[in-house]
Amino acid sequence: MELLQILECSPPLAREPLDAEQAAGVARVFKALGDPVRLRILSIVASREGGEVCVCDITGAFELSQPTISHHLKVLKDVGLITSERRASWVYYRLVPETLGELSALLTAPATV
Amino acid sequence: MELLQILECSPPLAREPLDAEQAAGVARVFKALGDPVRLRILSIVASREGGEVCVCDITGAFELSQPTISHHLKVLKDVGLITSERRASWVYYRLVPETLGELSALLTAPATV
DNA sequence: TGTCTATATTGACATACATCTATTCCGGCT
DNA sequence: AGCCGGAATAGATGTATGTCAATATAGACA
């Protein structure tokens, strides 16, 4: 089952308990967000005017090796938070806003009455 | 610095890149959410009428040892997602909706124009 | 005081993960 | 074809993490 589909059919945490399968799917995405480097990469991609970021731009923002950045990009891509497209020698990444939106909805807190 | 404060002053991912300190703080919370058992525990606590869950209720919902559940509760508590209160022999956990709300806001996707 | 129940802590262990170096893959260029 | 630069993959390594059994702690009650 696709991860985005799991997110779509998972109720907000505050509405009813997740079943084991939903929890496993959702946890994969949160785990991807549970690393400071990946969070910064995602925020760079998500906040970019035009929506596209070249890998070289990301690599330049960190004091980490190129393979490490590549690894983190793969993790984010595998859970459906970003997509990639190769053009000539460069690979461009962009956000998948639907995934982020589903996550946000999942975390919507109950009305503080 | 308190984790909730870091969440409060961190811009939505899609607005501007997180700095290293913000990312480290936010990542701690997402890492706590990055485990299926903890997600299910949190959803049990968050969706409970009355807001309180006894540890024994949680333990009964999993085929895991009591120390393991206790460990996961501590992780969720350490990042400010839940709080605990002891009354007589029992310990009750409840959601901290502010933390969940801050996280949700952080993930708010950019307007899909 | 002693015992019983509920929860937390400790210590051990196997697995997962972040990072690096070395290498490979892919396009463009000469 | 051969080379070069950008990016991905493979393999290695130290550290973090999820789990358990054993033990400790806290409170109720006899």
Which one of A27, A31, A43 has the shortest CB-CB distance to B17?
A: A43
Q: Which CATH architecture has domain B3-11+19-107?
A: Orthogonal Bundle (1.10)
Give every CB contact of residue B88 below 8 A, 6+ residues apart in sequence.
Answer: none
pLDDT tens per residue across span A7-50 = 999 999 989 999 999 999 999 999 999 999 999 999 999 999 88
Residue percentage of chain B with pLDDT more than 90 = 88
The predicted complex's ipTM stands at 0.94
Minimum distance, in Å, between the CA of residue B16 and any CA atom of chain A: 5
- Amino acid symbol at B90: W
Angle between helices B97-106 and A97-106 (to 10 degrees): 170
Cβ contacts of B98 on chain A, cutoff 8 Å: 109
Q: For residue B46, give how far its alpha carbon lies from the nearest alpha carbon of chain A (Å).
A: 4
Could you tell me the pLDDT band of residue B110, with boundaries at 50, 70 and 90?
confident
| Min Cα separation B112/chain A (Å) | 8
Task: Considering all nucleic acid strands, name the nucleotide whose C1' atom is nearest to the C-alpha of residue B77.
Answer: C8
Nucleotide nearest to B57 (CA to C1'): C6
Of B94, B24, B86, residue with least CA distance to A33: B24
CA distance linking residue B82 with residue B69, whole number of Å: 14
Cβ distance of B105 and A101 shorter than 8 Å: no
* A95 vs B contacts (CB less than 8 Å): 14, 109-110
* Residue B50's pLDDT band (cuts 50, 70, 90): confident
In this structure, what is the dihedral angle of CA atoms B49, B51, B57, B62, given to the nearest 10 degrees?
90
Q: What backbone torsions phi and psi does residue B81 show, to the nearest 5 degrees?
A: -85, -25
**For residue range B79-88, what is the model confidence (pLDDT) as tens digits?**
999 999 999 9
Total-model pTM: 0.94
